[in-house]
Amino acid sequence: MFGRGRVEKGTKRSGLVVALLTASATFSLFLIAGLAILWGVYYGPGPSARQGDSTIVTLQSGSGVSAIAAQLKAAGVIRSTDLFKAAATFTGADRRLRAGEYQVPSGLSLAGVVNLLVEGRVVRHFVTLPEGWSSAQAVDILMRQSVLTGTVEETPEEGSLWPDTYEVTRGETRQAVVERMQVAARENLRRLWAQRSPATVAKTPEEAMILASIVEKETGVAAERPRVAAVFSNRLRQGMRLESDPTIVYGLTQGRPLGRGIRRSELERRTPWNTYQIDGLPPTPIANPGAEALKAVLNPPADPALFFVADGTGGHAFAATYDEHLQNVARWRQIERQRAGLPPEAPVPVAPGTSPAPMTPAEDQSATASAQIQAQGGQATITLPPGASQGTR
């Protein structure tokens, strides 16, 4: 009897072990299957984009994991909010998700979505205001940006915007971008004004901005800005008129391109900005100048030049005397005739006090490369070469 009891106990114990092993194996199989499913869900392909090859999702700053999950589900880039929250919590990503605009590729896995948000690989948008563009043109640039919203309340004051490249976000208002440009302009003008030299003719930061805008418009060659600034500074010191073509154009268009040559009648028309007709500086800038133009005006070189005219290379020939200037003008005239396929001609004397040297406003870069007077609508029209300047310079 005693031996039989011992056998029965051994048999029961063996059965229990087998049952436990069987249960463990079954659990392991279920666990492996579950892990395989989770692995497939986490790393497997996600939903296809509803349109195109990707989906744009914008996550607002301050959104929690639940709100982010709901927005991703609504956009169709994840299948389950619960799985996303579980994945974010399990990986520790829930504390590192970044706001912004995301372009989620079609079929991106749940793991890919989580990593995209953790790494902050947001879509970046930029707006560039080029140096020398007017405030009206700046508004045009902003209105063409489809990621921005709203309108610009009114055209900003000329010279109040800082030319630069700005990063913008989808949904940001155009007025907010304008205000950022204005803050940058104030800060940079304050910084550069503090670094001015005694040689500047600008008595106030506002005068510096006005003169810099003219310098910016007069030449498209960066290396020439200091010399152009020196010419205008010298003329102001001597009480000479600036006689800058871009100021004529601004008086006619308020910052829009003229699209043609300047007519003789327009050169003679008095506007607050026409520096052929007014003494000193115009009342406002004629564009939004950049840092280099401002530096040139605030720190002009010691250069005796009083005149400049196009030299045929895209730049200008500078002169300290009127006679030297007339020689430069004669060379430019011969270059014009050569380009037009005309035979050379003897230099035509220019009477003192007349305007011997047509020059182009830098804003009209599309102007033809000739400075000839044409009959147009019964009026004389001056078609000006790019990067040149006009007047008794």
Q: What is the tens place of the pLDDT at every residue in 252-261?
A: 999 999 999 9
Total residue count of the chain as it appears in this document = 393
Q: How far is CA 3 from CA 9, 83, 151, 246, in A?
A: 10, 58, 99, 119
Q: Please write the tens of the pLDDT for every residue from 311-360.
A: 988 899 999 999 999 999 999 999 988 888 888 775 544 444 334 443 43
Q: Which spans in the chain are helix H?
A: 2-43, 65-75, 81-91, 110-119, 135-143, 174-194, 205-218, 225-237, 245-253, 264-267, 291-298, 322-339
pLDDT of residue 16: 61
- For the record, the structure tokens of 222 come out as 């960066």
Q: CA 321 to CA 155: how far, in whole Å?
A: 41
Task: Answer whether 243's CB lies under 8 Å from 390's CB.
Answer: yes
358, 384 contact by CB (below 8 A):
yes
CA-CA distance, 312 to 336, in Å (whole number)? 8
Q: Exposed e or buried b for every residue in 137-170, given b needs 16+ CB within 10 A?
A: bbbeebeebeebeeebeeebebbbbbbbebebbb
Q: What pLDDT is recorded for position 359?
A: 40
Q: Which two tokens stand for residue 320?
A: 């300290």
Residues of the chain with pLDDT under 70: 1-40, 346-393
Q: Which one-letter DSSP state was computed for residue 95?
A: G
Closest CA to 117 of 108, 127, 128, 129: 108
Phi-psi region of 153 (alpha: psi -120 to 50; beta: other; left: phi over 0): alpha
Measured distance CA(332)–CA(310) in Å, rounded: 7
Inter-residue contact 98 to 169 (CB < 8 Å): no
Closest CA to 391 of 216, 273, 229, 246: 246
Contact 326, 262 (CB under 8 A): no
Q: Does domain 54-119 have CATH number 3.30.1490.480?
A: yes
How high is the pLDDT of residue 245?
94
Percentages helix, strand, coil for the chain, rounded to the nearest 5?
45, 10, 45
Q: What pLDDT, on the 0 to 100 scale, is given for residue 6? A: 57
User: What is the chain's Cα-based Rg?
Assistant: 36
pLDDT at res. 313: 87
| 364 and 383 Cβ atoms separated by less than 8 Å | no
Q: Which helix (H) or strand (E) holds 127?
A: strand 125-128
pLDDT (0 to 100) of residue 194: 98
Please say whether the beta carbons of 377 and 256 come within 8 A.
Answer: no
Give pLDDT, residue 346. Answer: 56
Quote the pLDDT of residue 154: 96
Q: How far is the CA of 336 from the CAs of 131, 358, 360, 367, 391, in angstroms?
A: 29, 11, 14, 14, 17
> Would you call 316 exposed, middle or buried from its count of C-beta atoms within 10 A (0-12, 13-18, 19+)?
buried
In whole angstroms, what is the distance from residue 83 CA to residue 110 CA?
A: 9
φ/ψ of 181, rounded to 5, equals -65, -35
Q: Global pTM?
A: 0.75
CATH 3.30.1490.480 residue ranges for the chain: 54-119
φ/ψ of residue 243, rounded to 5: 50, 60
Is 364 within 8 Å of 258 (Cβ atoms)?
Answer: yes
Both tokens of 238, joined, read 């001597």
